[in-house]
Structure 1
Amino acid sequence: MRLGALFSGGKDSCLAIYRAQASHEVVCLINLIPRSVESQLFHFPNAWITKFQAEAMELPIIQLETSDEEEMGLVDLSRALRLAARDFGIEGVVTGVVRSVYQVSRIRRICEEIGLHCLNPLWLKRAEDILNEVLEEGFVAMITGVFAYPLNERLLGKIITVDLAEELLDLSKKYGFDAAGEGGEIETTVLDGPIFKRRIEVTDYEVSYREYSGILRIKGLRLIPK
């Protein structure tokens, strides 16, 4: 089946694409950029670099700005999926949603209205399993956002490794957040992995952090042959 991937640039959407490619053909990426961090449907930090991730994957991308208001955001999602169906002949959509009933119910509703299948290969996976699979499959995921106590500025810019994954899992058990960031506690940007034909090197960035909430904004990058 020809699929379009709802793509945030983070580890979950990349892992979902990787899983989907085992039995389907992912033919395009679909990225909606919200106007503020308040969007519950679409991810915000460093959304601009998804076009370079698409280039590194050698996949076309449909990229639209979307409203912060829920109903208008759904209209924009519908428009993006219809464009993907028209331009790339997609028959379904793959998402990296793990546990958000809010997200998956709305995406499924739009897909049903258009006549598209909706695949959620990570649905209800444990945080530990997601982090382990990201590492085992060779994805290079940089932490670019932290939004929960006790996650601090030290984590911003770190690549998720076995040791860091274990640290996040230990902290999550103690403080009750999701170690894989499904609740928005952690945002990642993927720089390399098995779905990438070229890797991304970050050449410039800036960090904004205050009271256990921070973002690493990527300001410069380059694509490197593998």
Structure 2
Amino acid sequence: MPPASTDARADLVALCERGIDWRLGPQRVLRNDAPVRDAAVLVLFGVLDSVPADASNAVARDLDVLLQRRAATLSNHAGQIAFPGGRLEPIDHDAAAGALREAVEETGLDPTGVDVLGMLTPFPVPVSNHSVTPVPAWWSRPSEVAAVDHAESVETFRVPVADLVDPANRAVAEHHSAGEVYRSPAFVVGGRVVWGFTAIVLSRMFEDLGWAVEWDDGRVVEP
């Protein structure tokens, strides 16, 4: 029997307390010839609507996570599916505050309905020389969301976690750039391909939370 969504919240709190060692994955080294920029993303879970997942497996079918598609005109990670978030500003007293501020600016969500559960270890993203802190949160009182600034993002949507961990929707993404081939976990759900940083964070979180289901890593997709 999959755990209830309330159990998922407790799982996320426990994950924040013990943390994730990103070094267990592929080595990622930030450049030392440019300043490292600090950023944060809001990894927002909750029981977000009345539409259950198609899949039925290790997690509650009504548990969702909030994602958005970045604008194709951005200089970094253009067109990719991402968590709400962005670069930290001097007004942010920590990464959690920055992630929540950015999410409000990008999606219009009501921050009073969001419970920040903690902060994970910063994740190095060499392609843009950012150190990104994932901030798990729980949507205790969901509000309407939409892509506020289309120069930044073009759509905001919710994805059932059960569909993300469904082995039928798992794959490896291969991205070709400057003669190099980059591989990352990927999720193919609803005609969308989630890959790169977002997929790596989700994949590691699902594994550490005990939500992951064994899948075929021989399935390759192009983002």
TM-score, L = length of structure 1: 0.27
Structure with the higher fraction of residues in helix conformation: 1
